[in-house]
Structure formats: C-alpha cells, structure tokens
Amino acid sequence: MEQTKTGDMTLAQIIQGIETRETGFFVKANAVLGEPTVQTLIKEHQEKNKGRSYRVGLSVIQAAIKQAIRIKSAEQVTALCIGQRDTTQLSAKGKRLPGHVTFLRPKGQHFEIAVWGNSLKKGDGAPADIVMPSVVRMSVEKERYTTKNNDIGESIKLLDVIDVKELDTAAVATKLLGNIKTKKLGDISDLDQYQVVVIQGKISGINPIPVFSKTSEGDEINKATWEKTGELPLLMPDDTPDKLLHPVLQIALAIEQGTAVRVSLDQRRSLHGVYLIEDLQELVTEAYDKYPDQPEKQAAEVSGLFIGRPILAVGTMRGIRAGDATNSGIRNVDISASAVIDVPEDLPILANDAGQTVLPVEKTQKNPGGDSEPIGDAGASGTPGPKNGKEKSQSDIISEIVEEFPNICRVFGMKNITDRPLEEIIKKTKLDKKYDRMLIEVAYNSKLPKEDVSAAAEVPQDDGKDDEL
C-alpha cells in the first residue's frame, strides 16, 4: 500500500496531524506568529517536501514553525562584528576546538558566537553571510550553564540576521575609539579571563609563536610539564583546500602600568581574523621568502618596522600571570586575536566618521576684529602663510615637510619615504592640501638616492582615480 505523500495532504490534515502530536501547538504558533504567517510556512515547507512521506513532512513543517517561534521570541541585539578566530590546535583530549565570531557592544557587553564548522550559521542552518567589519542587527538566544568550577557562564546562539551594514575599513579605528569601551593595559584584570577585550597599546616587537611539547603527563597532584621545542614560521597556510597563507605571529605591546601583553595571531583553520595593520601581510611574506626556515630571523626582519605603532587589539584573554620575582613583577597577559587595527597618531592625515581622509582641524585664534581665523592662514597655493608676523622661507617649509616623513613611513610600513612613488603618497596623505606641490617634490627628491633623482620626474601624474596605497 502506497504511503500518503506530504504534497497530497490538505491544510486541515496537516494541522490535525501536528495537533495530534502536540496538543495546542497551533494556538501558541498563531499567537506568536499570526495565523497568516503560520499558514505561509506550512505551504512553503509542504511544497519543498511534497515528495516525502507525510510523517517526515509533518516533522519538517512542525520544526520550521518552532524555529520561526524561537526567532520571533528571541532577543534582538545590535553589535559591531569585528572579526573571527579559530585555530588548528587540538584540545588536550585531541579534539578540534570551535571557532568564534566576535561582536562588540558600546557598553562593554562584548560576546562571541561559537562556530563548529567553517562558517557561522543561523538557527535554521543557513549561512549567516555576515561581512566583517560590519554593524549587525540579529536575533539571538542566550543559555546559561555551569562550569566545572561551578561558575555561571552564558552562551549565545545566533538565530537570525536582520540587517548588516558593512563598515569601510578606513573608519574602523574611529568607530571603535568613538563608540566602544576600550581598555589600557593596566585596566586588564583577572575578571577579563576568557572574556572579549578591546585594548590599546603600542607595538614593542614581533615574535614567532613558540611550539611546546609535553614532557610528562599530569596527575591529581602534579601538573603536566611542557618544554619549548621550536617556533612556527610567520607565514602559514590554513586548512581550507586553497591553503591560504596568512600571518602567524605574536605582537608584543609596550609594557604599561606593570602589564605586558602578547597578542597572538594563531594559525587559522578557516576563520581568518580582521587584520587592518597596513603592509603586515606583504612584509611578513617578504621576510618568510627571505628566511623560509628561520622564524626568529623572519621576526627580526619585520619587528623594527612596526615598533612604536599604536594599535587596537580585539580578542579573548586566554591567560594572565601575576607579577612575581621570576618576571620582575610584570603581569603577563595573553590574548587570542580576532582583529588587530592600526590607530593613526600624530599624522598629517586623520579618518573621519565616514572613513574619508581629511586634514586635522587647524587651531584658531581671534584677530583684532574679533573674527576667528586659522593660525598661519594658507594662501592660494596652499603654502602656510605668516605666523606671528614672520614669513616662512621655502627652506623652512621644505624642512617642515621632511619632518612629516617619519610618521608617514611608520603608518604605511615603509623604511624610507621614497619606497613608494610620490604621487601615491600625495593621494593618501593629501599633503598638497597643506603644502605647495613643488615644495613637496623638492622635499621628496631630497630623500632619493642621487642616481634616482632624475627618475622622480618621470612619475605619472594623478589620473583622478582614488587608488589605494
């Protein structure tokens, strides 16, 4: 005898079949979703499963309505999706660890959503399709649990994505500093253990990630012992079929208030972090190609190019060690990064809220007539005019431009200002809005090797396109 198919059932038969399984199901469903929505879901999933047996069809339809109720009843939150992280390392029991997508909220209630596959999924199993960085409005479900130490934890599950607004990467640092609560190194405490933190600091060095091997198993009395057996190279492939090469390293931040922080960019399985440190990938690749089997030399090659650079680091604090006699009283903090971001400081350029490159606002002073005007008002050529009644000479202005170059090099990861063509530097910094173009060229040419000065005149002129450095 042929079984009834889902597609052969009437609406009444489907409702009666589900009510037989769970009395009052449709009373609740209609109250939460509304009867028209419930009937639309029934028809949609009946059509998708019309060739299946009615028993399977009823289960699928009931599950779809339950999922819709969960989403409708869920808490809606808006957060900044800043990055993600996972690792190729296995747990102590040899099992694969979950990945995490990181979300930030203005008042500090940051959170992560666990990812067990290769991408974040919604409650119905469909891909979440969240670009990073972005502002996301979503429905989530919170669950409390008790840890083995009897602490109360909370996990958050994504049910649905309502809206995604992608952020211009140039505006991320501004958004974070303006809207998200960040910590200085000295503000980190034991309460931040295993929590998402956003910290500010200056790079003091780049180091390879050490590799440790277990030398003895632990027991109820003694902990397992480990020893360092090597370092990972600064460039490694992920575990996807494409074997995407990415930076794998530790960023050491300058010690502040007795606290040293290591920010680890781990080898990724498939969830890559948001790394907005200019030229990081390029410089690490060059160092790896130069010293393919020597992680220490790779790190030494790039470390000096980043020292002193201010950054924001976002990630989970996975370890903190109090200061004692063995470490000169310095606390050591380890953060697994989901994002690292440049923070421009004391530069000729700034990023506004729209992510556009703009000049700093000049200080103003009152003139005798009472009107405010910029100090050293620029003339038509863009060259700063007299200050305190004294006209600047062209040589003074050229020297002033040259003094800008070290900061520009630090931000864009250059050893020398002449590592990039003049036209590219002008496009990115808008120096020609502040100084006369001819004087900028003279300052730039003064830094060229003697044999390259004539070549500078052959740099193509601006074509009007907004090319990136």
Question: Could you give phi then psi for residue 180, rounded to 5 degrees?
Answer: -115, 135
Do 382 and 432 form a contact (C-beta atoms < 8 A)? yes
261 in Cβ contact with 333 (< 8 Å): yes
Provide the domain limits for residue 12: 6-73
CA separation for the pair 22, 58 (Å, rounded): 12
pTM for the predicted model, two decimal places? 0.63
Question: Where is pLDDT greater, at 330 or 355?
Answer: 330
SS3 374: strand
Q: At which of 149, 174, 199 does a domain end?
A: 174
Please check whether residues 311 and 389 belong to one and the same domain. Answer: no
DSSP string, 53-105: BHHHHHHHHHHHHHHHHHHHHSEEEEEEEEEEE--S-B-TTSPBPPEEEEEE-
Q: How much is the pLDDT for 321?
A: 87
69 and 79 part of one domain = no
pLDDT tens digit string along 41-82?
Answer: 999 999 999 999 989 999 999 999 988 888 887 888 999 999
Query: Do 160 and 189 fall into the same domain?
Result: no
pLDDT band at 97 (very low <50, low <70, confident <90, very high): confident
pLDDT at residue 375 tops 50: no
Last residue of a domain, one of 325, 342, 359: 342
* CATH code assigned at 331: 2.40.50
Average pLDDT over all residues of the chain: 80
Shared-domain flag, residues 85 and 40: no
pLDDT of 258 above 80: yes
Q: Is residue 465 part of a domain?
A: no
Residue 350 reports pLDDT greater than 50: no
Longest dimension (CA), the chain: 104
195 shares a domain with 291: yes
User: Is a pLDDT exceeding 70 seen at residue 149?
Assistant: no
- Residue 467 maps to a domain: no
Q: Is residue 336 part of a domain?
A: yes
| Residue 468 φ then ψ, to 5° | -90, 155
Neighbours of 466 (CB within 10 A): 6
Structural element, H or E, at residue 197: strand 196-207
pLDDT in tens, 19-29: 999 999 999 89
Are 319 and 206 part of one and the same domain?
yes
Confidence of residue 441 (pLDDT cuts 50, 70, 90): confident
CB 395: neighbour CB atoms within 10 A? 10
pLDDT in tens, 304-328: 899 999 999 999 999 898 877 666 7
| Confidence grade of residue 173 (pLDDT, cut at 50, 70, 90) | confident
Same domain, 31 and 161: no
* One domain for residues 330 and 195: yes
Instruction: Looking at the structure, tell me whether residues 91 and 43 fall in a common domain.
Output: no
Angle between helical axes of 35-48 and 11-21 (0-180°, round to 10) = 100
pLDDT for the residue numbered 425: 84
**469 domain residue, yes or no:** no
Is 462 within the bounds of a domain? no
Distance CA 173, CA 104 (A): 13
455 pLDDT higher than 50:
no
- Of 174, 192, 221, the position where a domain reaches its end is 174
Mean pLDDT in residue range 26-46: 92
Could you tell me if 320 and 332 are in contact, meaning their C-beta atoms sit under 8 angstroms apart? yes
Which residues pair with residue 152 across a beta bridge? Answer: 146
| pLDDT given at position 417 | 85
Number of domains in the chain: 4
Q: Note whether residue 187 is domain-resident.
A: yes
466, part of any domain: no
Query: Highest-confidence range of 143-147, 295-299, 340-344, by mean pLDDT?
Result: 295-299
Residue whose token pair is 């250059």 = 414
Q: Average of pLDDT values for 274-300? A: 94
Same domain, yes or no, for 266 and 390? no
Phi-psi bin for 308: left (phi > 0), alpha (psi -120 to 50), beta?
Answer: left
Separation CA 413–CA 354 (nearest Å): 24
Residue 295 lies in a domain: yes
- pLDDT on residue 284: 96
Q: Is the pLDDT of residue 83 over 90?
A: yes
Is residue 63 domain-shared with residue 136, that is, in the same domain? no
- In a shared domain, residues 286 and 374: no
Written as one string, the DSSP assignment of 228-251 is EEEE--SEEE-SSTT--EEE-EEE
Backbone angles phi, psi at 337, to 5 degrees: -85, 140
